[in-house]
Amino acid sequence: MSLNLKTSVLKVDQPLELKSGKVLKRYELAYETYGVLNNSRDNAVLICHALSGNQHAAGKYKDDDKPGWWDNMIGSGKPIDTDHLFVVSLNNLGGCHGSTGPKSINPETNKIYGSDFPIVTVEDWVNSQSKLMESLGIAKWKFVIGGSLGGMQAFQWTLQFPDKVEKCIIIAAAPKLTAQNIAFNEVARQAIMKDPNWHNGHYLEKNVIPNQGLALARMLGHITYLSDDSMKEKFGRDLQKQKLNFNFDVEFQIESYLRYQGEKFGNSFDANTYLLMTKSLDYFDPIKDFGDDLNTRLSKTCSKYLIISFTSDWRFPPSRSKEIMKLLIHNNKNVSYSEIDSSGGHDAFLMENEDYFEIMRNFISGDNNGV
């Protein structure tokens, strides 16, 4: 069954009070849906995207070279099976793919927001996503799912709306960033903000983009998404030409790959959105945010959890997923945990893998899961 693709936009006219204290008076959320919402409206699931994701998670538009970013996971007969499920996938607030964000017009100034767009948090996203849920007439998600920053949103859903999530799938995530994680984000931010085209974040008004800084940020990010082993397998020390250049042109194949990936991203993604997303990662810390209230919130949640990590992921290694697992077990929650053997690094959550997909299918279809 084909996915019948279209992008919808929800216009929300109620103000959204952000964690920063700022208020967005109105905003729009761009989203796609796949599959059909059943009559009892209880087959809806929410896909939360990671740092550079968007609403286009599955299927292929007519002019697309590639399908959506999680097409191997979502579709007819796939682990998130659109023959049975109604899948909702949105672009997060602050994004650059149709939802209100730094590229939008600030209604108060009639100029592009740029860096005046407020910093949004995982908490803010979940609040805005709940408006989309309401508008679609969904009372409870069958599950909320995401990898990396998306997994953090899935986790946050069960804390913020403990009775609205039946199951929660948290993949390749962490309960908060380490100093090293923050450090990588900070280098990425500095790379963007030191670009001569940065103009304090108001580059679009000047008809330029800080694409070189963003490319650097992406190159660096990319290293942390891949494992040392997968880089070795893919590139090793292979040269572009037969012998060493003795200059600073592209020399090793890994350099060529990174430059290409960086350039492509630098010219297509919005730098302000990238900055926002990294801050949202840095700020995520529900254990600190909720404090003593966390246990109360967890006691209220009816969610069953599936937590998945990948052996070669060094951005959010299995030990970080286990921190979430232990917290949940400590609170007597129903938790399944699975550590998937993969050389794919952090990006493994986007890759096809028999064990991974089988565990997903079982958890999604099963009625009873737990450690």
Task: Look up 346 and say whether it is catalytic.
Answer: yes
Least gap, CB of 333 to a copy of itself (angstroms): 24
CA distance 365 to 367: 7
CA atoms within 13 A on the CB side of 113: 25
Closer residue to a copy of itself, CB minimum distance, 11 or 264? 264
189 scored as a contact of a copy of itself (CB under 8 A): yes
282 scored as a contact of a copy of itself (CB under 8 A): yes
CA distance 304 to 366: 11
Closer residue to a copy of itself, CB minimum distance, 67 or 221? 221
What residues between 42 and 101 interact with a copy of itself by CB under 8 A?
none
Residue type, position 41, single letter: R
Nearest to 118 by CA among 30, 201, 10: 201
Query: For a copy of itself, which stretch binds (CB under 8 A), given 95-103, 153-161, 183-191, 292-300?
Result: 183-191
CA distance 25 to 23: 6
180 scored as a contact of a copy of itself (CB under 8 A): yes
206 scored as a contact of a copy of itself (CB under 8 A): no
Closer residue to a copy of itself, CB minimum distance, 31 or 198? 198
CA distance 320 to 311: 11
**Alpha helices (H) along 34-121:** none
Tokens 């069960």 label which residue? 158
Q: Are 123 and 160 in contact (CB under 8 A)?
A: yes
For residue 217, report the phi and psi dihedrals to the nearest 5 degrees: -55, -40
User: Which of 21, 77, 137, 291 is close enough to bind a copy of itself by CB under 8 A?
Assistant: 21
125 scored as a contact of a copy of itself (CB under 8 A): no
Q: Which chain residues interact with a copy of itself by CB under 8 A?
A: 19-22, 115, 118-119, 176-180, 182-184, 186-187, 189-191, 193-196, 212-213, 215-216, 219-220, 222-223, 226, 228, 231-232, 234-237, 244, 246-248, 251-252, 254-255, 258-259, 262, 275, 279, 282-283, 285, 288
